[in-house]
Amino acid sequence: MVRMSIVLRRGTPADAAPCGAICYEAFKSVCTAHHFPPDFPSPDAASGLMSMLLSHPGFYSVVAEADGRIVGSNFLDERACIAGVGPITVDPTGQNHGVGGRLMQDVLDRAAERRAAGVRLLQAGFHNRSLCLYTKLGFHTREPVSILQGKPVGRKFAGYEVRRATAGDVAACNRLCRQVHGFDRNAELRDAIAEGTASVVEHLGQVVGYTTAVAFVGHSVAETNRGLMALIAASPEFGGPGFLVPTRNHEVFSWCLGMGLKLVYQMTLMTTGLYNEPEGAYMPSVLY
């Protein structure tokens, strides 16, 4: 196999369109090959995500070029002590040349340089090659996660009130995240509050759970499954391909199925470095 001459560089906002086109085609190619719906409905949707990631100061970006042409990109969410990888995408016409491995090693080197306590990612369960690559790079498989999508549930749980999160909720939400995961995601939470996508659930006058969005890019934590289900039930929509529920959480997973939500496909949570077994109810984002 002849390897392309690959040059890596930092991404810039000007890379959004070519990176978005590659992102769309890469996910479409692998998903349709395994008979699953693509993660992005159009190249414009993928470019919109790329534009946000390439301009956000909390994300590190790396672009791979071959002969002056962009052939792939990868990102690292650096907003917390745990870093999240992705999306990593490689031009389908440039596969099998080591581009993906170079892009992954670059963000891992970046995380080591920044002394991140750990690195996490969500891997498509049907994609054997990426599972093997990440394992070889030192990632440990932690648990299967289900993507769920469907019509909004539109229900309320007695004694559980869901409302939009405000800056005044940050301290309580951070305490919950530390209680469940051992660290908080303060910057990510503040971004979601500023964007108007974050919600909290209260029980007996106390914040017992929060979500940055019940969506592919949102994470949620709660003291109990009931708080988590209240957040899901109150969500007006499930952004992107769907939201992610740890499959082993039988109560929440089965309740979602009972509410008419459908399984899109399975993902795998993988980690390096610090990992605490969650103590409470949670739903990861596609990053972790």
Which pLDDT band, with edges at 50, 70 and 90, does 37 fall under?
Answer: confident
Q: What per-residue confidence (pLDDT) applies to 286?
A: 97
Question: Is the per-residue pLDDT at 54 higher than 90?
Answer: yes
- DSSP E strands, the chain: 6-10, 59-66, 69-77, 82-85, 89-90, 118-124, 140-149, 160-164, 199-203, 206-211, 220-222, 243-246, 262-273, 281-283
Residues 6+ apart with CB under 8 A from 110: 60, 62, 76
Tens digit of each residue's pLDDT (9 = 90 or more) over 150-182: 999 999 999 999 999 999 999 999 999 999 999
> Topology of domain 6-116, per CATH?
Aminopeptidase (3.40.630)
Q: Is 43 exposed, middle or buried (0-12, 13-18, 19+ CB in 10 A)?
A: middle
Predicted pLDDT at 1: 42
Q: What is the DSSP letter of 87?
A: -
Q: Is 96 helix (H, G, I), strand (E, B) or coil?
A: coil
pLDDT category, 39, cuts 50, 70, 90? confident
CA 208 – CA 228 distance, rounded (Å): 9
185 burial type by CB count under 10 A (0-12 exposed, 13-18 middle, 19+ buried) = buried
Overall average pLDDT of the 84-105 stretch: 90
Query: Stretch 230-244: mean pLDDT, rounded?
Result: 97
For 149-283, CATH number? Answer: 3.40.630.30
Size of the chain in residues: 288
User: Phi and psi of 184, rounded to 5°?
Assistant: -110, 165
Q: Is the pLDDT of residue 223 over 90?
A: yes
Q: Give percent of the chain with pLDDT exceeding 90.
A: 91
Whether residue 87 is preceded by a cis peptide bond, meaning omega within 30 degrees of 0, is yes
Domain with CATH 3.40.630.30 in the chain: 6-116, 149-283
pLDDT in tens, 242-273: 999 999 999 999 999 999 999 999 999 999 99
Mean pLDDT of 73-90: 97
Quickly state the pLDDT bin for 3 (edges 50, 70, 90): low
